[in-house]
Amino acid sequence: MAISTNTKSFGTAPVFFTAISTILGAILFLRFGYAVGMVGFMGTLGIILVGHIVTIPTALAISELATNQRVEGGGEYFIISRSFGLNIGATIGMALYFSQAISVAFYVIAFTEAFSPLLDKLDLPAEWARRIVSVPSMLFLSVLMLRRGANIGVKALYIVVTILAISITLFFLGGTSYSEVYPSNLLSFRNGNIENSFFIVFAIIFPAFTGMTAGVGLSGDLKNPSKSIPLGTTMATTLGMIIYGFIAYKLAISASSDDLVSDQLIMSRIAIGGTIIIPVGLAASTISSALGSIMVAPRTLQALAADKSIPLKGINRIMARGKGNTNEPYNATLLTSIIAMVFVFIGGVNFVAQIISMFFMVTYGSICLISFLYHFGADPSYRPVFRSRWYISLTGFIFCTWLMFKMQPYYAMMAIIVMILLYIIISYLHQDRGGMASIFQGAIFQLSRNIQVYMQKKKKESTVTKWRPSVICIAQSTFENDKALQLLGWISDRYGFGTYIHLIEDYFSTASNKNAEQLLDRLIDIADDDNNAYLDTLISPSYTSAIAQTVQLPGISGMPNNMILFEFDKSEPDKVQPIMQNIGLAKAARMDICILSYTSHKINHKNGIHVWIRSIDFENSKLMILLSYIILGHPDWRKGKIKIFEIAPKIKIDKSRENLIEIIHSGRLPISPKNIEIIELDPAKSPKNTICERSKDAGLTVVGFREEQIKHDPDTFYGYDEIGDVLFVNASQLREIN
């Protein structure tokens, strides 16, 4: 990000000329004839159209984003990082920077092709002959930018764009003997070997379309970025597409397929004075593209360094430093020149060119995705002066992703792996910086709202009888013991939904509300990262009023809450009385009721869950078994098993076993019959004593209860001191395990 005191002097023209000179670059002169020869005019036209299905949505998305926020230095990086967050932005920004830096080398090497007629006459190996031109050219370009900065680069752009326009005009005015005899009817054009060659040729041609965002990198030097970026970018993209189409047409009617494929400077045989003007035009286009890249890449690096996004702190400080009133990125330009020189000297840039195409695709796809998510999220703060359409941005994102794998699936995978590794490193070094939440939050809210409204409207039409828990827990002792929060996390891990509410007994006021906000922050901090329960606080003057409010709350999933969870510490038996007094409220809401009686001891998960079924509360049995199965699905319980006990009279032991086995089999529950134990009812022995004897080592013991039982036995929840945590369960109706 450029320093705010910069002198910003550029208007729309530099954006347009930087983009159009990069668009009409090396690929146009060196590879368009090859494309027409391989896939014919119609195939080349298809390549142009498919390529612009990516570039036009990206140009529109950039224009839109640039008019919604103040765009500072860094161009595409600034837009992405301020939308996706600094860590995501830095990941894409670093890939973008290396693509831009290596692009300088690519264009300089292509520049040497303008001298190929002369170089071929030298008695030197081809690579060394080309280095005679490429290395000094790179040195000259570097010195020019270091000494004079972007201002001289823009002035040079005007000169080379003029030469470029003249060479293309003379190409269109030229002709060949072939064009005089070949019919120019569109229907008579060769189609080439489209089926086998289209995406191969597309991969070669696509870098020609990547120049349309080149001007965005000048954002920090623009007087009015929100005007210049949309206008300059869309004009260059549109004009470039039109010129490409006409050049493909001219090539198709001017030379045979063999000549188009074999002669990379075929345009020089068509243009007026082509032996001179086309190499000069090629030189102008490539050097202008190199100028555009060497102006933009350092500004991307400077913005990354200003955000402290480069993993090395010292590099951040050095690269962020600018020079003069315009904050010219001198240090970043020097590093960019060194990187480019390395690749110029290596010379084998074809492999690298395909890799950087992938990174450009990632950048374009990201920009289109940002635009789509802003549209879908309907954020009222998103008010761009220039507006695209959500379906255009979505199309651009889909095509970017699809084309990456159609062009070069291996390079696409390499690019994605590199991006993931970069993100992991940057996120590790900058754990305090936000990720994608800011951009995805609006879309998630919008999607959630639409789904909940849809579910509510379709509720009466629904015939679905399958059950899953949507639990709401109300607790006061969160910060003394988090056993209830753990239990809700187990239920919410995969199969259920949970809302955990910490109750603050107080009257609502400014002070109590501020206290509630602080407690919620504490609650979020103490919750495990893998706890999927939704956390909240509630201010209410009494426990009863809090329950009355809680049972009326909507579920976070869109489905109504169907279960309430209470909790009390066994060491404080008086805490169970308020729960017993308010069970009627939960029953009035037709909710299943769970009451967790916990101890301070750590749970031994490997000892599993014991489920106790008695004839007096058999209607709870299926809910108890299903709830145990859901809890056991959490990774904490991976070594545990469910064991089912039933206390039955001797004459009903066999029948009880058959019934339980049938429940297990019909419900497809992973419970072995050997883990089902039927205990003979002993009238002289309390069921509580039996439970305490058999389940003293259980990780969790599940016991059923009935509302009527509480009225006749006030000690229903007492007498289990010899065992660990106990979950009491009451089903509002008989649940089916289906």
Q: Are 565 and 496 in contact (CB under 8 A)?
A: no
Residue 51's pLDDT band, with cuts at 50, 70 and 90, is confident
Q: What is the DSSP string of 578-633?
A: HHHHTHHHHHHTT-EEEEEEE-SSPP-GGG-EEEEEEGGGGGGHHHHHHHHHHHHT
Asked whether the predicted pLDDT for residue 479 surpasses 70, the reply is: yes
Rounded to whole angstroms, the Cα distance separating 650 from 237 reads: 86
What fold does the segment set 464-595 form as a domain?
Answer: Rossmann fold (3.40.50)
User: Under 8 Å CB-to-CB from 38, ≥6 apart: which residues?
Assistant: 192, 193, 197, 200, 201, 257, 261
Residue 318's pLDDT is 87
H or E element that contains 157: helix 126-173
Q: What is the pLDDT of residues 260-292, one digit of tens each?
A: 888 888 888 899 988 888 888 888 878 777 877
Query: By C-alpha distance, which of 137, 150, 112 is closest to 17?
Result: 150
pLDDT of residue 180: 62
Asked if residue 150 lies in contact with residue 327, where contact means CB atoms within 8 angstroms, the answer is: no
Most confident among 211-215, 384-388, 646-650 (mean pLDDT): 646-650
The mean pLDDT of the chain is 81
- Separation of alpha carbons 38 and 335, rounded Å: 39
Annotated domain spans of the chain: 12-437, 464-595, 601-738
> pLDDT-based confidence at 4, cuts 50/70/90?
very low
601-738 CATH pick, 3.40.50.620, 2.40.160.60, 3.90.850.10, 3.30.420.10: 3.40.50.620
User: Which class in CATH covers the domain with range 12-437?
Assistant: mainly alpha
Nearest 5°: CA angle at 411, between 405 and 417?
100
Token pair of 449, please? 């709202």
Residue-by-residue DSSP string for 383-451: --SS---HHHHHHHHHHHHHHHHHH-HHHHHHHHHHHHHHHHHHHHHTTTS--SHHHHHHHHHHHHHHH
Of 603, 579, 376, nearest to 482 (Cα)?
A: 603
Global model pTM greater than 0.75: no
pLDDT band at 2; cut points 50, 70, 90: very low
3-state SS assignment for residue 71 = coil
Give me the pLDDT at residue 520, please: 92
